[in-house]
């Protein structure tokens, strides 16, 4: 088996999009975190997956949530990604957003979003794998914010 630093370095060569996962707890309080472990799983039914580290503030929320949203960020939203990656209680303060059909936060000016009903949860080692059935989605024009080799990157076309 390989060691963690080798695995991290190797997987860091895979560029990923940067997203903000949002959900509400049982009391109706909004929660969010930066997630780069996100991908589509199926077209029929439309399904995505995201992974949440067990030590994350979002972990207890996503283990109970019935729905969630994934906000796909643009290159202009690196600061938002950094904000949601930090441990802080005021992640949503001063940010523009609306609520989607699931009631979850959809941030303003994002590249795209998907809203999901939780379909299943699986043990993923130090992460929880969450499958979501997509109930709503929308996309806009723009350039995606990427994460590559431990830092933010932009795609040039």
Burial of 3 (0-12, 13-18, 19+ CB in 10 A): exposed
- Picking from 14-18, 122-126, 134-138, which range would have the lowest pLDDT averaged per residue? 14-18
Separation in Å, CA 24 to CA 54, 89, 106, 137: 17, 14, 12, 18
Residue 156, domain member (yes or no): no
Model pTM score:
0.94
Residue 47, domain member (yes or no): yes
Here the CATH number for the domain that contains residue 113 is 2.30.110.10
Which structural domain range is residue 75 located in?
A: 4-145
Give how many domains the chain has, as a whole number. Answer: 1
Residue 154, domain member (yes or no): no
pLDDT per residue over 95-107, tens digit each?
999 999 999 999 9
- 3-class SS of residue 45: coil
Nearest to 33 by CA among 76, 74, 69, 75: 69
pLDDT per residue over 64-94, tens digit each?
999 999 999 999 999 999 999 998 888 999 9
pLDDT per residue over 35-45, tens digit each?
999 999 999 99
Residue 79, domain member (yes or no): yes
């Amino acid at each position: 088996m390989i060691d963690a630093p080798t695995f991290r370095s190797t997987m860091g060569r895979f560029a990923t999009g940067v997203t903000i996962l949002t959900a509400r707890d049982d009391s109706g309080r909004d929660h969010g975190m930066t997630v780069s472990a996100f991908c589509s799983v199926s077209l029929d039914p439309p399904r995505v997956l995201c992974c949440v580290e067990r030590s994350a503030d979002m972990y207890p929320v996503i283990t109970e949530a019935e729905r969630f949203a994934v906000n796909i960020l643009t290159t202009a939203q690196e600061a938002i990604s950094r904000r949601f990656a930090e441990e802080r209680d005021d992640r949503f303060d001063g940010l523009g957003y609306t609520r989607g059909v699931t009631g979850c936060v959809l941030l303003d000016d994002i590249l795209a979003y998907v809203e999901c009903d939780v379909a299943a949860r699986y043990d993923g080692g130090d992460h929880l794998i969450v499958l979501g059935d997509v109930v709503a989605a929308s996309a806009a024009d723009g350039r995606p914010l990427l994460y590559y080799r431990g830092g933010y990157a932009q795609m040039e076309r």
